[in-house]
Every structure is written in structure tokens, then in C-alpha cells.
Structure 1
């Protein structure tokens, strides 16, 4: 039996998040050497990661990190299997560490992010794999946003008081206006627009909406002569529902979001809305 103390077991648990019995076995195998035990647990944990690949990760958290002067911001989703893990401090700490790394490194896309080094000699992918091992669940990083070219603000929404935020919104204005940024971000969280404006809707999406509107109208028996007007009305309804600037503003539905922004003298350059698992 290797010579180690209860303090060694406690330290190993804090370092790895592994269970007590696993820590004792690792210390025994490592002959009481904590660093070697950490390595053994990582090795065993990596094997466990492969077994977890077939599981689904639909719980998790959305975290944000905004620069002190609001010149930049990051929004990031980290997913796990259960809400039990999602609400744990260690899981949220992993998500926050990843957001901080994005803010520092500004990766071009997810592939670049996963390949980048978050610590000396350790990629983000390896960092996430370690989280898989220590938390005992499938952990997935597959979505983030970073804005660095305007006044950036975030709104985070909790769907349950005992869970971390499940919905996050990042907005970027052309000039500083904290109140408008907050109001617009809250509106986006509630109404989930897919696009900023009509001009941002891909042509193929518009054409598909036209085809669906025309086919629906014909199925309803509408007269042929009325079809163009009906189709145009339904396409306009699609724009009103799915483009942010055309949506009625949450706090005053007599105004569109576009009008609210115009009255405030600011423009919304872009936004990102992330809901866990959606």
C-alpha cells in the first residue's frame, strides 16, 4: 500500500474533480506521487471521453465576457449532459476560462479555437477533453461569438434560478448607449429574430418562403388573380417576424426596433443570440 495522506486525496480531488475512490486508486498506483496520479487519472479519463462520445449534450451554460470599456465582447456556449453538472462551479469555470481565451486570442472560427493553445502545450480541444474526464460527462464546445468593432454589450437570461444562464445575447452598436443596448438585447432574447434586416435574409430563404406562401394559398383555394398580393403579404409577414429591425419593439409594440434605434440616434451593427441546445 502506497504511503499517502487524506490531504493528498483531497488535493488530487481538487485538481482533477475525480471521485474519492478513483483518487485513492490513482495515488496507490502512483506510489503516493500526486503529480503522477493526476497524469494517471487524465489517461484513464481520456478513455472515458471516447465512451461518452455517443451521449447527447443538451444542457449547459451560456457565458459572456465584456471589456471594461465595452469595446469588445465574447459570448460562448458550453454544453453538457445534465443540469446537475451545468450548475456546478467547475463546469461554469471551464466555460468562463474558454470565454477569456477567446477574448485574448480572437480565433477566426471554431476550428481555429479548438486548435489554439489555452495553456502552454495544451490545446482548447485537450482542455475540453480534460473537462470530459474530470466532470464525468460529455462536454461540448461548438459555438461562440466575438465582437470587437463598436459598443458591445450582453444580456444573459436564466430560465431557472438554480441554473446558469441558458440564453445569451451579444449586441454591437455603432456608438455608446448602455440603455438602448440593454433594451435591444433583452428584446432579442425574448423574440429570437433570425436576421438583422431584410437585406440580411439569404435570397434562397426568401424564394422558399414565396414558394411556400404560394402553395399554401393555392391549397386554401385562393383565386389565381389574388395570389401575387397574398404571397407578398405573407412574405412581408415573414420579414416582420424574423428580422429584428422590422419586429415590434418589446417595450412599445407601436414602434419597430428600427424606429427605436433611429430615435436614439444609434445603429445596431450586429447581434448574436445563443440558447443552450437550440
Structure 2
């Protein structure tokens, strides 16, 4: 049996974050060679990745980085909050974000193919998942282009990394209002910037539904068009950011707040871990 020192075990554990017994066994199998033991542990972890492929990932983090006229946001997911709050997972999130932003990635596929420390982001994630012992996946990537940005990252639990992330692209000089709108988005969860951005088929489907509901309530036929339009207006207030009632003052719309502050919201992205 190879003579394995406590110092070697400590060194390898600090490098990989692996358990004491697994680390010692790998060093014994590698006859004390730390680099070979690292390969053994990664290989065993990689085999475990395949077994974990069908597991669900409901925990994780959201991170964002501004890079000139573009801000990139990612959602990196894992299985448990124990892993999500660990330094290795948070460090992986930062590495993935940096690589995705540097590559100008706009999709998950582009981000996974981006270079990172001599390998691809996909390889980096797979290697770290093998060490962490959980399924880890890059679930979403967003890229927002604008003159200026407001980034809001919200922790739903003080012990966890940010679970909700919002990027608002805007023009104008009132950064405080732009950040407040980002906070509004984190709460109100709009799907589109304006009502004109809502796909026609989605609007027509909603129109059909509210018309059927109105008829079912026995509303007068002559009054139906006005009633339907009114209910469509309520629908737009749910899904279109600029039509929404402002979270800090529901007597104002987000559009009115932005105009009063002299800013124009040009785009946004919102991620919530697991949603």
C-alpha cells in the first residue's frame, strides 16, 4: 500500500472539495500521486454524472455581468441548497458567467461552447459536477443590449446566493428609478416590455377566453366589445411591464414612472431559480 500523507489528503481535498475517505482511497489507488488521484476522482465523478442526468435541479443561483453595451445573466442550477450555497458552486457560477460574457453568448448553447480555462464551459460544468456529486446544469442565459443597465439580484434566503435576477436596459440619467423598476420586475414578473410585444396569437386567445367568460356571465351582447377590451386591458397589466401598476405606487404605471424620471426602458430580463 502506498504511503499517503495527511498533507496530500488535505491538499487534494482543498483542491477538489471531495470527502476524506474518497480522497484517501484515490491517493492509495494512485500510489500517492496527487495528479493521478485527481484524475481518478474526476473519472469516478464523471461516471456519476451520467447516473444523475434525470435528476431535477430546483436550486442554484442567478448572476449577471455588465460588459460595455451588453449585460449577460445566467441561471446555474443544482439539486440541493447545500451545494448551492457552497464556495465551489458559487465559484463555478462566476467562472461560467465570465466565460459566457466574454464570448458574448446569447443562448445556453453558445455559453456552453464558450472557452473557459483551456476547456469549454460545458466541460467545466461537467468536471465540477463530478466533484460536487450533483447534477449541475446551465439552465438559462440572457443577453440585454442597452446604453445603461440596472442590475438587481435578490436573495430569498440570506444563506443562499441570489435566487432572482433582473437586468433592465435603459437610456436616461436616473439610475435610482431604473433600479427601482428592476426591483418592481423581480416582484411583478412581466413577460413583455410593451403590449405591442405580446404575440398576436396570445392576445387573440385571451380575447376569445374573456369573451366566452363575459357571455357566460350573461353580459348584454351590445356591451360585449367594451367589456372584452376592458378585460384585455387587465391582461396587458399582468404581462406587459410598461402597462403594469408600479409596485411602489399603484396609482401610477411603470411607463408613467419612467417618463417622469426621464428614462426609457429598452429591454429587460428576469430569472428566478427553478421557475
TM, length-normalised to structure 1 = 0.94
Find out whether 1:199 has 2:200 as its counterpart: no
Quote the residue 2:76 is aligned against. 78
Quote the residue 2:153 is aligned against. 156
Matches within 5 A, 1:1-278: 1-67=1-67, 71-120=69-118, 122-278=119-275
Q: Is the 8 A contact 2:107 2:140 kept in 1?
A: no
Q: Deviations over 1:176-205 (max 9, x none)?
A: 432122111011111111110011101111
Report the secondary structure of 1:15's partner residue: helix
Deviation at 1:76, TM superposition (A): 1.2
Deviation at 1:163, TM superposition (A): 1.4
Distance 2:42 2:208 in 1: 54
- Where does the alignment leave 5 or more consecutive residues of structure 1 unmatched? none
Report the secondary structure of 1:56's partner residue: coil
Aligned residues: 275
Deviation at 1:148, TM superposition (A): 3.9
Distance 2:174 2:50 in 1: 47
Distance 1:115 1:26 in 2: 31
Deviation at 1:74, TM superposition (A): 2.3
Q: Deviations over 1:195-254 (max 9, x none)?
A: 100111011110110111112122222232222222111111101121110111122222
Q: Is the 8 A contact 2:49 2:130 kept in 1?
A: yes
Report the secondary structure of 1:147's partner residue: strand
TM, length-normalised to structure 2 = 0.95
**Root-mean-square deviation (Å):** 1.4
Post-superposition, which runs of at least 4 consecutive aligned residues in structure 1 deviate over 4 A?
none
Deviation at 1:34, TM superposition (A): 0.8
